[in-house]
């Protein structure tokens, strides 16, 4: 009888741990495995990150936040950087970002990576010229590797309902550990 009670308690504990783990990884932090080079040189192919899923509200998303988005077009989760907020006019001219007509620095981009990429892909610019008005309630996102990213330039803007997490940390490989702001 004692053994049955011990097994029952152990089984209940295991189920409880399982349920708590599922809830943590569904509602608090989202594990994401980076697939591809669209976020180079910030994130690398096969990096593993934990992304914050708490407090994903329009007012909490800031320009240049790294976000995980569900893309209906691609039928998958993608990780990108917020460039345009609701109501913004985003323009790129000769690799310079203008937000609402004001030049805006992109300090997260590695200058050597940008120059090397332009040489590798024989591209005059890292980001082709374009201008777009971000709609109300929408976010314009781009990969950090502009020459190899499928993002809002192709997929269109995303809404807050598409964003499933923001910010977080790369946890693997250990050589790439970093906070994602």
Task: Please list the ranges in the chain whose pLDDT falls under 70.
Answer: 1, 25, 27
> What is the pLDDT, as a whole number, of residue 1?
66
**Other CB atoms within 10 A of residue 64 CB:** 13
User: Which two structure tokens, joined as six digits, stand for 173?
Assistant: 């490989």
Please tell me the distance from the alpha carbon of residue 44 to that of residue 146, in angstroms, as a whole number: 14
Q: Which helix (H) or strand (E) holds 98?
A: strand 96-99
pLDDT attached to residue 70: 93
Residue 1 DSSP class: -
Topology (CATH) of 29-169: Umud Fragment, subunit A (2.10.109)
Catalytic annotation, residues: 38, 80
Task: Please tell me the distance from the alpha carbon of residue 103 to that of residue 92, in angstroms, as a whole number.
Answer: 9
Q: What is the pLDDT of residue 157?
A: 96
Whether the Cβ atoms of residue 126 and residue 146 lie closer than 8 Å to each other: yes
Residues 32-74 pLDDT 10s: 888 889 998 888 999 999 888 887 888 889 999 999 999 999 9
Give the Cα separation of 36 and 25 in Å (integer).
23
* CB-based contact 78:34 (threshold 8 Å): no
> pTM, whole model, 2 decimals?
0.86
With contact defined as beta carbons under 8 Å apart, do 139 and 78 qualify?
no
pLDDT value for 52: 86
List the chain domain ranges: 29-169
DSSP class of 173? S
| 130 neighbors 91 (Cβ within 8 angstroms) | yes
From the list 49, 122, 139, 47, the residue with the least C-alpha distance to 87 is: 139
């Amino acid at each position: 009888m004692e053994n049955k009670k011990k097994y029952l308690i152990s089984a209940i504990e295991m189920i409880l741990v399982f349920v708590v783990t599922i809830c943590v990884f569904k509602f608090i932090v989202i594990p994401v495995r980076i697939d591809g080079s669209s976020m180079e040189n910030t994130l690398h192919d096969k990096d593993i990150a934990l992304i914050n899923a708490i407090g994903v509200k329009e007012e909490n998303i800031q320009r240049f936040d790294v976000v995980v988005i569900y893309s209906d077009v691609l039928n998958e989760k993608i990780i990108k950087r917020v460039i345009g907020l609701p109501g913004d006019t985003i323009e790129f001219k000769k690799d310079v970002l203008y937000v609402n007509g004001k030049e805006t620095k992109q300090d997260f981009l590695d200058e050597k990576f940008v120059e090397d990429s332009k040489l590798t892909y024989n591209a005059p610019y890292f980001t082709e010229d374009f201008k777009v008005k971000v709609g109300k309630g929408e976010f314009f996102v781009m990969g950090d590797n502009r020459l190899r990213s499928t993002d809002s330039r192709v997929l269109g803007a995303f809404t807050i309902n598409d964003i499933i997490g923001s910010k977080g940390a790369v946890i693997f490989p250990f050589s790439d550990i970093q906070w994602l702001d």
